[in-house]
Structure 1
Amino acid sequence: MKTKFEETLYDRNKSNIYVHFWLLKAKSKRDNYLQLALAYKACLINADKSARPFYADSMIINARRTNDIELTASAYLTKGIVHYERMEHSKALDNYLKADQYASRTTKPILINKIKYGIAQIKYYLGFYDEAISLLQECVNYFREENDRAYLNSLHALGLAYMKIGKYDLASETNQLGIDQGKLFEDTSMECYFKHSEAINMCYKGNFKSAVKKLNQLVPDIIRIKDYGNESATYYYIGKAYWSLQQPDKAINYFKKVDRIFELKSYILPDLRSAYEYLIDYYKEKGDSRAQLRYINQLLKVDKLLAHDYKYLLKKIVKEYDTKELINAKNDIEDAILITRVTACIVVVLMAIIIIHLTHKNRRNKKLFEELMNRDTANHLVPFEATFDESEIDFQESTETDSKDKRARTISPDIEAAIVKNLEKFERNKKYLEYDMNLSKMAAILHTNSKYVTQVIAKHRGKGTIEYITELKLDYIVEMLKSDSRFRNYTHKALGEEAGFRTTQNFTRAFKSHTGITPSYFIYKLKKSINTDSST
C-alpha cells in the first residue's frame, strides 16, 4: 500500500510548477531536511535526464541529515537508478551497494528487494549471470505477492539471464509465464518485452526464420515507445539471423542500423559489438577498403566506450578483432604500407610463445583444479604414519644438564595420548577457524605447553604448527566451496574472514601457496563444472 506522499510523488500528471513550489517551500524552513529530500526526489522524476544527477545528490545530502536510515537507503537506490539509466553502470553499482548497507539495518523487505533487483541488473550486464539469476529468483519470489510490475520486471530480467547461460527452454517458460501473469494482472505493458526476449531466444535456439519474423513484427512497437536500446538489439539479432541463414546482404543492412543508433545515441552493449566485426568482414570480402576502414574506426570507438563500464565483461567476450589488430589494420589501409616478412615472422613467433605459455598455464591450472576436486578435504585429518625421531628435537645427551633437559621435554605415553585426543577434538570443533590461532593459543586449548604441542603435531600430523593450522583453514574453505553454493558467491574478504585469516591478502596468498591456483580460478572452474553437469 502506497502512502499519500508516494501517490503524489509518482503521479506524472503533476506539473513542474507544483513540484518546484514544493521545493521552494521546503527551503524556506530551517532544518527541514525531510521535506527537502522528498522534494528533490519529486524534482528528479520530473526533470530531464541531464539534471537528474544534481537532484539525486541533493536528495542524498538531505536524506542523510535526517538520520532516517530507510530514507537514506531509498535516496542511494534512486541515485543508482539514475546512473543506470545513463549507462554509468559502475557508479550505479556503487550507489546500489551503499543503499544495501543502509537497507540491511531496516525491516523493509520491499526496499531490500528493489536494491537486489538493481544489483542483479548490474551483475547481468557485467556478465555474472549465475549471480544475477540467484538475486532475481529472490526478487521474483518476493514481488509475486507484493508488487505486480516489479514481479513482471524481475521475470523479464530472469528470462534474459537464463538465455545467457544457455538454458533456452527455461527462458521460454519464464517469458510465457510473464505474458500469462501480465494478462492476469490486466497489465500488458510488459508483453512486448517478453515477446522480444522470446524472439531473441529463438535466434539462440537456431530458429532463425521465426526469429526474423517475430522481431520484425515487434519493431513498430519498440520504436513507438522510444526504447532505442531494445531497438538496437532487435536490429542486431535480425542481422545475426540473416547472416546465419547465409543472406549477408540483408544482414548488413540491419548491422548498419545498429551503427546508426550508436552514432545518434552513443548506445552500445557488449552483446552488439560483433555487429562491427560482421561489417568489417563483409566489406573486406567485397574489397571495399573505404567501408572497411570506416567500421574499424567505429569499432575502436565502441571498444573505448565499453571499456569504461564493461571492462570485466569485455574480458569474457571472445573478440576476433582486438584493439591492436584493429589499429594495425587501420594503419595498413590508411598508409598502404606492406608488412615485411621479418615483422610477420616476429609476430608469429611472439604469438606462438604467448599461446604456448597460456596453453601450458591453462593445463597446469586445470590439473591442479582436478587434483583439488579429488582431494578429500572433508576428511583430511588422517593420522601421520611417521616414526617420532627424538634426534630432530634440539637437545643433546652429552652432559648431565642436557640429560635432565631431555627428560623434561620427553612426553610420557599417557600425556601424549591425552594431547592427541584433545587435538582431534580441536579439529572436530573447528577451533582452527579462530582469528590469529597460534602455538600458544593451541597449547592453552590442548591443556599442555607449546613444546609438547609442536612435538605432537610433528609426530602425528607430519607438519609444523603454522603449516598445520593454515592447511586446516584452507581445506575447510575448499570443502565449503565444493559443498555449499552460497560460499561460491562470497568475496575473497568474506572467505578469508570465514577461515579466520586476518587479511584478504594473507588468505589469497595462502590459498595459492597451498593449492597452486587462486581462489578466483578455483571458484570459476567450480561454477563452470557445476553448470556443465546441471545442463547435461
Structure 2
Amino acid sequence: MSYSFLESKINSLKEKPAEQWVYIKKMTDKARKEDNIKKQHRAYSLASTYSRGEQQLKYSDSLLSTAYRQNDTDIIGDCYLAKGSIYMIEERYPEALKNYLKGYDYIKKKNNPYLVHNAEYLIAQTKIYLVEYQEAQNILKNVLAFYRKNQEKINDTDYSLYYIYALISAIDTNSHLSHFEENKNLIREGMDFIAKNNYPDYSAYFISAKGIDAYHQKKYDVAIQNLNEALKQYRGNWGHLTENYYLGLSYWHKGDKNSALPYLLLLDEEYKTKGKLDPLFRPALEFLFDYYKEQGHTAKQLEYVQKVLALGKTYERDYKKLYDTLQKDYDPPKWQAEKLKLENELKQEKRRKILMSGLGIVFFSAMGLYAYSNYKRKKHYKNLLYAYNQNKSYEKENQSRIITNPDSENIGMVPELSEINPLIVENILLFLEKFEKEKKYLEKDLNIQQLAQQCGTNVSYLSKVINQYKKDNFLSYINNLRLEYVVQLWKTNPKTKHLMIQEIAHKSGFNTAQSFSKNFKEKYNISPSYFLKRLDKDEEKIQ
C-alpha cells in the first residue's frame, strides 16, 4: 500500500476511529520499516491529530523526535506549537505557553515572517487566558500590523483568517484594558473586512466583541442586545461560555438578578462537569454566592463558598504566576471566614430543626421514613459487601472452571451457540478471559467495535458470546467489570478511598464522575459516597 493510499484512508475514516487507527498503525509501521523519516513524521502528525488527551501528547512527543531528526528549525518549531495547542485545548495554559515560546525560539532562526507572526499570535492568545492583558496587547499590535499587509493564501493556510483572529483578540484585550476608543475602529475594521471578503461566519464574533466591549463600558442593555444576537448567529454546538458569562453579568449589574441566574448556572455546570473553571469565569461563582445570600439559602451559600475556595487552590497550584494577580480580587481569608460562619449557621439551623421536629406526628413520620430509608441503604450495603466477597472467593476457587472450550465437558454448564463455530466461541472466551485478567476494561471510550477488532471477530459474534456466557449486554458487561474493580480497589488499597469521585471515575474508565455514580447506584442501589462512609465506619469498629 502506498503512503498516499494510507493517508487517504485515514482521512476518510474520521467517523470510524477503530478502523482509522488500523491504517495509522500501518502507515507508521511502513515508515519505520523503510526508515522514511518524513513519512514517519507525517504518520505521527496524523496520529496526534486524531487522538486526544494524554495519548495525543504522547504522539506529539514522537512528532517532535522525528522533527529533530530532520534538523529543520521550522519543523521543530511547528511541532512545539502543535504541542502547545494540545495543552490549550486541555486548558493547561502555563504548559501551552511554555511550548509556544520554545516553538517561537526555533521558528525565529529562519525568520519566516508568516510562521513568526503565527507563533506570536498564539503566545498572545495564551497570555489573554492567563490574564496578562498588557503583554498580550503589546504582542498583538505587532501581529496585527503584519497581517493587515499580508493576507495571502499559502498552500492550505488562509492568512486572512489569522488577520481576523488577531483583530478579535486585540479587541478582547482592549476591552479588559478599557481602550474603548481604539476598539471602535477595530470592530469597524473587522466588520468591513468580513463583509468585503465574504467571511459571514465570523460576523458573530465581532458582534460578540462589541457586546463584551459594551459590558466593560457598563452599557449593559447594549451588551445584552449584541451578545444575544451573537449567540443566534453562531453555528455549531460550542457552549460559548464567554457570551453566556457576560450576559449573566450584564443582567446582574442591571439589577435583574433572576434573569442573570440561568447564565451564571451554566458556568457552575461547567465547573461541575470538568472540575475546573477558566480564571476569567470565577466571579460567576461569587455572584451565585451573593444571589443565594440574598435568598437566605445557607446551604447554597456554603456550596459556593467551598467552590470558590477549591478554585483558589487549583489556581494556586496550576497558575502560580497568575495567582498573585487573582488574589487582588480574591481574598482567601475572607472566604474561609465565610465558610466557617456558614457551617456554624447550618449546625445551628440543624439543631433548631431537630428540636422543632420533636413535636407531633410529623416528627415520627419523618423519623420513620428516615429509618426505613437508612435501613434499605444499610441492607444494600451489606448485600454489596456480601456479593463482593462471594464473587471474590468464587473466582479464586473456580478459576479452573472458566468456560473456554465449547467442545469440552464443561460446555454443558452453558447452552451452546449453535450458529457460531465452537472454535470461534472458544477463541472469544479465551480473549475475554485475558481481557478481564489484564483489566483492559479500564480503558476509556471502549466500544464493542474496538473489542471485536482486537479479538479478531465481528461485532455480532462477540455480542452473542457476551450475552450468552457473561449474561450481560456489552455495555453492562464493561460497566460491571469497572464497578467491581473499583469496589475491590477501595477494599484492598484504602488510600484510594480518599480520591475524588472524578479521579476514581477516570481510573476505572468512566468518562465523567456523573456516569460513574449513576452506574454505581444502578448496580448496587447505593451511592459511592455512602458506601465509602460505611466502609470507614466498619474499619473503625474492627480497629
TM category (shorter chain) comes to 0.5 to 0.7
8 A Cα contact 2:224 2:250, kept in partner: yes
Q: Look up the SS of the partner of 2:109 in the other structure.
A: coil
State the Cα distance separating 1:318 from its structure 2 match.
Answer: 6.0
Which of 77, 82, 89 does residue 85 from structure 1 map onto? 89
| Deviation at residue 317 of structure 1 after TM alignment | 3.6
Q: Distance in 1 between matches of 2:121 and 2:284?
A: 29
Q: Which runs of 5+ in 2 are unaligned?
A: 15-19, 152-158, 348-543
Q: Is the 8 A contact 1:125 1:313 kept in 2?
A: no
How big is each residue's C-alpha offset from its partner over 1:13-66, in whole Å with a ceiling of 9 and x where there is no partner?
575365544323212223x33321222112222223453211111101111122
Q: Return the offset for 1:157.
A: 0.7
SS in 1 for 2:241: helix
Q: Counterpart in 1 of 2:27?
A: 22
- Equivalent position of 2:284 in the other structure: 275
Say if 2:205 is the partner of 1:193.
Answer: yes
Task: Describe how 1:10-159 pairs up with structure 2 within 5 A.
Answer: 15=14, 16=20, 19-30=24-35, 32-144=36-148, 145-146=150-151, 147-159=159-171
Alignment CA distance shift 1:310-1:221 (3 Å): farther
Matched with 2:216 is 204
Match of 1:215 in 2: 227
| Residue from 175, 178, 196 that aligns with 1:166 | 178
Consecutive unaligned residues of structure 1, counting only runs of 5 or more, are 339-536
TM-superposed deviation, 1:105:
1.4
Alignment of 1:456-475 (within 5 A): none
Look up the match of 1:427: none
Q: 2:520: which partner in 1?
A: none
List structure 1 runs of 4+ shifted beyond 4 angstroms. 11-15, 17-20, 318-321
* Secondary structure of the corresponding residue to residue 100 of structure 1: helix
Cα pair 1:148 1:185 within 8 Å, conserved = no
Write the letter of the residue equivalent to 1:225: G
Partner residue, 1:295: 304
Matches within 5 A, 1:431-470: none
Q: How large is the RMSD of aligned CA atoms in angstroms?
A: 2.8
Instruction: Output the TM-score relative to the length of structure 1.
Output: 0.57
Partner deviation per Cα, 1:220-239 (whole Å, 9 max, x = no partner): 455x52333xx222222112
Letter in 1 for 2:277: I
- Which protein is bigger by CA-based radius of gyration? 1
**Distance in 1 separating the partners of 2:233 and 2:86:** 25
Aligned twin of 1:443: none
1:255 and 1:319 mapped to 2: Cα distance? 22
Q: Cα–Cα, structure 1 residues 57 and 114, in superposed 2: closer, same or farther, change >3 Å? A: same
Distance 1:51 1:195 in 2: 37
Q: Could you report, residue by residue, the CA deviation over 1:57-89 in whole angstroms, capped at 9, with x for unpaired residues?
A: 110111112222221111111111111111111
Contact 2:204 2:231 in 1 (8 A): no
Q: Which residue does 1:341 correspond to in 2?
A: none
- Distance, in Å, in 2 between the alignment partners of 1:21 and 1:220 is 44
Q: 1:266 to 1:168 in 2, by over 3 A?
A: farther
Q: CA deviation at 1:166?
A: 0.4
Contact 2:299–2:346 (8 Å) recurs in 1? no
Shift of 1:106: 1.1
Alpha-carbon distance change, 137 to 240 in structure 1, aligned in 2, over 3 angstroms: same
| 1:259-291 per-position Cα deviation (integer Å, ceiling 9, x unaligned) | 112212345222221112212122222221011
Amino acid at match of 2:319: Y
Report what 1:432 is aligned to. none
Partner of 1:446: none
1:183 alignment counterpart: 195
Please state whether the residue corresponding to 1:243 is helix, strand or coil. Answer: helix
TM-score normalised by length of structure 2: 0.56
Task: Letter of the 1:179 partner, please give it.
Answer: M
Output the CA distance in 1 between the equivalents of 2:144 and 2:119.
13
Amino acid in the other structure paired with 1:70: D
Rounded Cα–Cα distance in structure 2 between residues aligned with 1:107 and 1:282: 53
Q: How do 1:231-246 and structure 2 match up within 5 A?
A: 231-246=240-255
Distance in 1 separating the partners of 2:55 and 2:191: 35
8 Å contact kept, 1:113–1:142: yes
Contact (CA 8 Å) 1:236, 1:258: kept in 2 or not?
yes
Contact 2:76 2:103 survives alignment (8 Å) = yes
Q: Residue 325 of structure 2 aligns to a residue in which SS?
A: coil
Shift of 1:319: 5.3
AA paired with 1:226? N
Mapped to 2, the partners of 1:286 and 1:269 lie a distance apart of 27
Cα displacement (A) at 1:152: 0.8
Distance 1:260 1:220, change over 3 A: farther
2:209 and 2:11 mapped to 1: Cα distance? 28
Q: 2 CA distance for matches of 1:225 and 1:51?
A: 26
On the 8 A contact 1:238/1:254 being kept in 2, the answer is yes
Aligned residues: 329
> Equivalents in 1 of 2:216, 2:327: separation in Å?
17
Helix, strand or coil: the match of 2:110? coil
1:134–1:321 Cα change, 3 Å: closer
